[in-house]
């Protein structure tokens, strides 16, 4: 039996695996190779890796982890997880069944793109979610924001750190008058009407098209598609969930432990702040706390 099975071997999962390898724990990392930021050409804000392609950061991590013989990587899809502390079982879609004393869930979240032509093609590069990740390079330019929920109204004041040219596409949502007034007082241009398509050239956004046929020229659109956990293993395990601004996340305590003893969680699955720095920190700490819990 292994010490820990890590389900999801991207930024959080590999950070956990590094700690487990360095403490000579037997760990298996399962991964399907679909990190959330795989659409982005470059990643920003992770110390030592700023402006690197996400896949390159993960490749470097894999190369370094290869030095730790107690850590095994399996390219595989975990489809079932069950058991209790000291005796967990994880089944893969290949039919292989693995067992370990601890589980670490780091399978992230999946973004569900709206049914809007052009959105998917531009996602990650010119239709983007996060100003901390993408803002610096386009500071001072004209930014668009696609309304998704009342949370969107908090974005323009944040975006003002980078630019004062902001257009909010209400996408057919009614905004309260006082919100409209305070946005307009900030210089935010409001465009009403439903967005019907994103016009682009090979993923380079050129304009946002409205249902009435009009188009607003623009090169960057911020958007926050609905996201859900990338697997339902936390449901079958029965761990407690918590509400968050991005939807339900796995609830963890300060030791990254879920409500089910022996099960840890880290990364976007357990934190609404989607960031490599946050995910690698959480993964490393979850790995350390899982390892410490094995000390007799
Ligand atoms: C377009 C975009 C750009 C971004 N740019 C930046 C940026 O520049 N800087 C920054 O700090 N953050 C950025 N982020 C946020 C960053 O991508 C996430 O915070 C980070 O990927 C979270 O890491 P994670 O390990 O929790 O999840 P992920 O990286 O999503 O990894 C989850 C892993 O689990 C695997 N998996 C899922 N289900 C299973 C299963 N059942 N069995 C086995 N494996 C499974 C997946 O294949 C995946 O490899 C960006 C996000 C997006 C969407």
What is the predicted pLDDT for the residue at 58? 98
What is the rounded average pLDDT of the residues 151-168?
95
222 band by pLDDT with thresholds 50, 70 and 90? very high
Cα torsion 100, 102, 105, 106 to 10°: value is: -90
Could you tell me if the CB of 131 is within 6 A of ligand 1?
no
3-class secondary-structure state, position 236:
helix
Residue 291 CA to ligand 1 centre (angstroms):
23
Residue 54 CA to ligand 1 centre (angstroms):
9
For residue 245, the number of C-alpha atoms closer than 13 Å in the C-beta half-sphere is 10
DSSP string for 116-182: -TTHHHHBTTTEES-HHHHSGGGTTS-EEEE--SGGGGGHHHHHTTT-S-EEEE-TTPPPPHHHHHH
Asked whether residue 197 carries a pLDDT value surpassing 90, the answer given is yes
What is the rounded average pLDDT of the residues 121-133?
97
Residue 35 CA to ligand 1 centre (angstroms):
4
Question: What percentage of the chain has pLDDT greater than the value 90?
Answer: 99
Could you tell me if the CB of 171 is within 6 A of ligand 1?
no
* Residue 39 to residue 51: CA distance in whole angstroms: 14
Asked whether residue 239 carries a pLDDT value surpassing 90, the answer given is yes
Question: By the 8 A CB rule, do 159 and 131 touch?
Answer: yes
Residue 265 CA to ligand 1 centre (angstroms):
14
* Residue 146 to residue 118: CA distance in whole angstroms: 14
What is the predicted pLDDT for the residue at 169? 98
What is the rounded average pLDDT of the residues 262-281?
98
If one residue of 59, 246, 274, 285 were mutated to test the ligand 1 pocket, choosing by the most ligand atoms within 8 A of its CB, it would be 274
If one residue of 28, 227, 276, 287 were mutated to test the ligand 1 pocket, choosing by the most ligand atoms within 8 A of its CB, it would be 276
Contacts 24+ apart (CB under 8 A), 244-252: 244/272, 245/151, 245/272, 246/109, 246/272, 246/274, 247/109, 250/105, 252/286
What is the rounded average pLDDT of the residues 221-246?
97
- Token output for 57: 């950061």
What is the predicted pLDDT for the residue at 276? 98
Whose CA is closest to atom 35 on ligand 1? 8
171 band by pLDDT with thresholds 50, 70 and 90? very high
What is the rounded average pLDDT of the residues 183-207?
96
Asked whether residue 135 carries a pLDDT value surpassing 90, the answer given is yes
296 band by pLDDT with thresholds 50, 70 and 90? confident
Whose CA is closest to atom 4 on ligand 1? 37
Could you tell me if the CB of 275 is within 6 A of ligand 1?
yes
What is the rounded average pLDDT of the residues 259-265?
98
Task: Round to the nearest angstrom and report the end-to-end CA distance of the chain.
Answer: 16
Residue 49 CA to ligand 1 centre (angstroms):
16
Average pLDDT, the chain: 97
Question: How many whole angstroms from its chain centre is CA 258?
Answer: 19
pLDDT tens digits, residue range 91-117? 999 999 999 999 999 999 999 999 999
- Domains in the chain and their CATH numbers? 2-111+226-293 (3.50.50.60), 114-222 (3.50.50.60)
Could you tell me if the CB of 271 is within 6 A of ligand 1?
no
Residue 37 CA to ligand 1 centre (angstroms):
6
* Residue 107 to residue 144: CA distance in whole angstroms: 30
Could you tell me if the CB of 16 is within 6 A of ligand 1?
no
pLDDT tens digits, residue range 56-73? 999 999 999 999 999 999
Phi-psi region of 33 (alpha: psi -120 to 50; beta: other; left: phi over 0): left
What is the predicted pLDDT for the residue at 112? 97
């Amino acid at each position: 039996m292994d010490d820990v099975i890590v389900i999801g071997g991207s930024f959080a999962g590999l950070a956990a695996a590094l700690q487990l390898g360095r403490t000579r724990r037997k760990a298996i990392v399962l991964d399907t190779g679909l990190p959330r930021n795989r659409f982005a050409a470059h990643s920003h804000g992770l110390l030592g890796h700023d402006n690197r392609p996400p896949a390159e950061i993960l490749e470097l991590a894999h190369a370094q982890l290869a030095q730790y013989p107690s850590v095994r990587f399996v390219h595989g899809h975990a489809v079932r997880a069950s058991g209790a502390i000291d005796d967990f079982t994880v089944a893969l879609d290949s039919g292989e069944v693995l067992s370990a004393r601890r589980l670490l869930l780091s399978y992230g979240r999946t973004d569900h793109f709206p049914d809007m032509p052009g959105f998917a093609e531009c996602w990650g590069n010119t239709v983007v979610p996060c100003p901390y990740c993408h803002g610096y390079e386009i500071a001072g330019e004209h930014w668009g924001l696609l309304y998704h929920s009342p949370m969107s109204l908090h974005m323009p004041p944040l975006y003002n750190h980078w630019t004062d040219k902001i257009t909010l596409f209400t996408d057919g949502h009614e905004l309260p008058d006082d919100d409209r007034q305070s946005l307009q007082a900030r210089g935010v241009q409001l465009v009403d009407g439903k967005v019907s398509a994103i016009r682009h050239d090979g993923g380079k956004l050129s304009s946002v098209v409205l249902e009435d046929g009009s188009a607003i020229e623009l090169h960057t659109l911020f958007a926050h598609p609905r996201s859900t956990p990338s697997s339902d293993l936390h449901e079958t395990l029965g761990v407690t969930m918590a509400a968050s601004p991005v939807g339900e996340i796995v609830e963890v305590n300060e030791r990254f432990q879920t409500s089910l003893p022996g099960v840890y969680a880290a990364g976007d699955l357990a934190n609404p702040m989607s960031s490599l720095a946050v995910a690698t920190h959480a993964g490393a700490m979850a790995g350390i706390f899982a390892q410490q819990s094995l000390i007799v």
